[in-house]
Amino acid sequence: MLIQDNDAVGIRFDFPGQAYASLQYACPGEIRDAQTRLFLKHLHYIAENSGFYRRLFKENRVDINKIRTPSDITALPLTEKKDLGDSNAFLCVGTDEIVDVSLTSATTGSLPTVLHLTSGDLARLAYNEEIAFAMTGITQQDTLLICAALDRCFMAGIAYFLGGVKLKSRVVRSGSGSVSSHWELIRLTGATAVVGVPSLIYKIGRYALDQGDDPAKAGVKRLIAIGEPTKDPAMKLLPLARDLENMWGASIFSTYASSEIATTFCECTERCGGHLRPELGITEILDDAGEPVSDGSPGEVVVTPLGVTGMPLIRFKTGDISFLIDEKCRCGRTTKRIAPVLGRKNQMLKYKGTTVFPNAVIGALEGDPRFHGGYVEAFMNQDGTDRIVLNAAIDETQGVDWMKDILRARVRVVPEIKIIDRNVADRRVYQFDKKRKRVTFFDLRQK
Taking the least distance from each CB to Zn ion, the nearer of 278 and 358 is 278
Please report whether residue 268 would count as binding Zn ion according to CB under 5 A. Answer: yes
Please report whether residue 131 would count as binding Zn ion according to CB under 5 A. Answer: no
Min CB(275)–Zn ion separation in Å: 6
Min CB(231)–Zn ion separation in Å: 14
**How many residues sit close enough to Zn ion to count as binding (CB under 5 A)?**
5
Backbone dihedral region for residue 326 (phi beyond 0: left; psi -120 to 50: alpha; all else: beta) = beta
Taking the least distance from each CB to Zn ion, the nearer of 240 and 276 is 276
Interface with Zn ion by CB under 5 A: which range of 82-90, 247-255, 265-273, 314-322? Answer: 265-273
Distance CA 164, CA 182 (A): 18
Residues in contact with Zn ion, shown as a per-residue x/- string from 337 to 376 under the rule CB under 5 A? ----------------------------------------
Planar angle of CA 360, 356, 433, nearest 5 degrees: 50
Please report whether residue 270 would count as binding Zn ion according to CB under 5 A. Answer: yes
Min CB(328)–Zn ion separation in Å: 9
Taking the least distance from each CB to Zn ion, the nearer of 191 and 338 is 338
Q: Taking CB under 5 A as the criterion, which residues in 295-334 touch Zn ion?
A: 329, 331, 333
Taking the least distance from each CB to Zn ion, the nearer of 136 and 259 is 136
Q: Taking CB under 5 A as the criterion, which residues in 423-442 touch Zn ion?
A: none
Give the H/E segment covering residue 337: strand 337-338
Taking the least distance from each CB to Zn ion, the nearer of 166 and 337 is 337
Q: Where are the alpha helices (DSSP H) in 318-421?
A: 358-365, 401-411
* Nearest of 26, 8, 69 to residue 275 by alpha carbon: 26
Planar angle of CA 277, 281, 283, nearest 5 degrees: 90
- What are all long-range contacts of 51-56, with beta carbons under 8 Å and residues at least 24 apart? 51/89, 51/90, 51/91, 52/83, 52/86, 52/89, 52/90, 53/90, 53/314, 55/89
Taking the least distance from each CB to Zn ion, the nearer of 327 and 395 is 327
Distance CA 246, CA 72 (A): 46
Min CB(192)–Zn ion separation in Å: 21
Min CB(241)–Zn ion separation in Å: 18
* Nearest of 164, 167, 166 to residue 194 by alpha carbon: 164
Taking the least distance from each CB to Zn ion, the nearer of 248 and 253 is 253
Backbone dihedral region for residue 46 (phi beyond 0: left; psi -120 to 50: alpha; all else: beta) = alpha
Q: Where are the alpha helices (DSSP H) in 211-290?
A: 239-248
Min CB(267)–Zn ion separation in Å: 7
Cβ-contact 166, 126 below 8 angstroms: yes
Min CB(349)–Zn ion separation in Å: 32
* Nearest of 19, 41, 4 to residue 308 by alpha carbon: 41
Taking the least distance from each CB to Zn ion, the nearer of 161 and 253 is 253
Taking the least distance from each CB to Zn ion, the nearer of 273 and 307 is 273
Interface with Zn ion by CB under 5 A: which range of 125-133, 250-258, 263-271, 435-443? Answer: 263-271
Please report whether residue 132 would count as binding Zn ion according to CB under 5 A. Answer: no
Distance CA 99, CA 39 (A): 24
Min CB(322)–Zn ion separation in Å: 17
Min CB(277)–Zn ion separation in Å: 12
Q: Which residues bind Zn ion (CB under 5 A)?
A: 268, 270, 329, 331, 333
